[in-house]
A and B are shown apart, each in its own frame.
Chain A
Amino acid sequence: MAELSGKYLVGVYDDDDTVLHAVPRLRKAGVKIKEVYSPFPIHGLDEALGHPRTRIGIAAFMFGVTGCCTALTMMIWMMGIDWPMIVGGKDPISIPNYIPITFELTVLFTAFGMVITFFISNGLGPGTHFHPRFDVRSTDNKFVMAIDLGRNSMSIEDISRALKDSGAEEVNIKQF
Chain B
Amino acid sequence: MHVTSPVREPLIQGGKTYADVTEDICRHVEGSPTKEWKIAFGISLIVLAYGSVCLAWTWWEGLGVWGLNKTVGWAWDITNFVWWVGIGHAGTLISAILLLFRQKWRTSINRAAEAMTIFAVICAASFILMHMGRPWMAYWALPLPNAFGSLWVNFNSPLVWDVFAISTYFSVSLVFWYIGLIPDLATIRDRATSKVSRFMYGTFAMGWDGSAKTWARYEYISLILAGLSTPLVLSVHTIVSMDFATSVIPGWHTTIFPPYFVAGAIFSGFAMVQNLMLITRVVYRLEDYITLEHIETMNKVITLTGSVVGVAYITEFFIAWYSGVEYEYYAFFNRMTGPYWWAYWAMMTCNVISPQLFWSRKLRRSITFTFFISVVVNIGMWFERFVIIVTSLHRDYLPSSWTMFSPTRYDIGDYIFSFGLFFTLFLLFSKYLPVVNMAEVKAVIRSTSANLPQKIAGVAKVRQRGTAEPVYNKDKE
Contact = CB atoms under 8 A, between A and B. Distances in A.
Contacts, number: 209
Given A78-B143, A100-B165, A112-B171, A37 B210 contact: yes
A60 B225 CA distance: 10
A122 B216 CA distance: 11
Contacts of B442: 39-40
Given A82-B150, A112-B175, A131 B207 contact: yes
Contacts of A140: 18-19, 22, 187, 190-191, 472
A133 interface: yes
A149 interface: no
Contacts of B171: 108, 111-112
B190 A36 contact: no
Contacts of A88: 156
A141 to B, nearest CB: 4
A37 to B, nearest CB: 5
Given A51-B216, A78-B155, A57 B224 contact: yes
How many interface residues does chain A have, given as a range?
Answer: 35 or more
A17 interface: yes
B206 A128 contact: yes
Contacts of A46: 212-213, 215-216
B245 to A, nearest CB: 13
A136 to B, nearest CB: 5
Interface stretch (B57-65, B178-186, B313-321, B389-397): B178-186
Nearest to B236: A104
Nearest to B176: A111
B12 to A, nearest CB: 13
B168 A124 contact: no
**Interface residues of chain B: helix, strand, loop or mixed (majority):** helix
B355 interface: no
Interface residues of B, number: 76
Interface in B116-159: 143, 150-158
A170 to B, nearest CB: 12
A65 interface: no
Contact of A57 (B155, B202, B220): B220
Contacts of B202: 129-130
Interface in A129-169: 129-131, 133, 135-143
A123 B182 CA distance: 13
B419 interface: no
A135 B212 CA distance: 15
Given A51-B212, A136-B475, A142 B457 contact: yes
Interface in B343-364: none
Contact of B207 (A45, A90, A129, A137): A129
B110 to A, nearest CB: 14
Interface in B190-227: 190-191, 199, 202-221, 224-225
B217 A104 contact: no
Contacts of A38: 210, 212, 215
A133 B152 contact: no
B160 A101 contact: yes
Interface string A74-114: 11001100110101101000100110110111011011101
A107 B217 contact: no
Interface in B93-118: none
A41 B219 contact: yes
Nearest to B161: A100
B220 A56 contact: yes
A135 B210 CA distance: 11
A139 B187 contact: yes
B231 interface: yes
A141 B22 contact: yes
B224 A74 contact: no
Given A100-B235, A118-B218, A136 B224 contact: no
Question: What 4 A-B pairs are tightest by C-beta distance, nearest first?
Answer: A128-B207, A129-B202, A141-B18, A131-B207
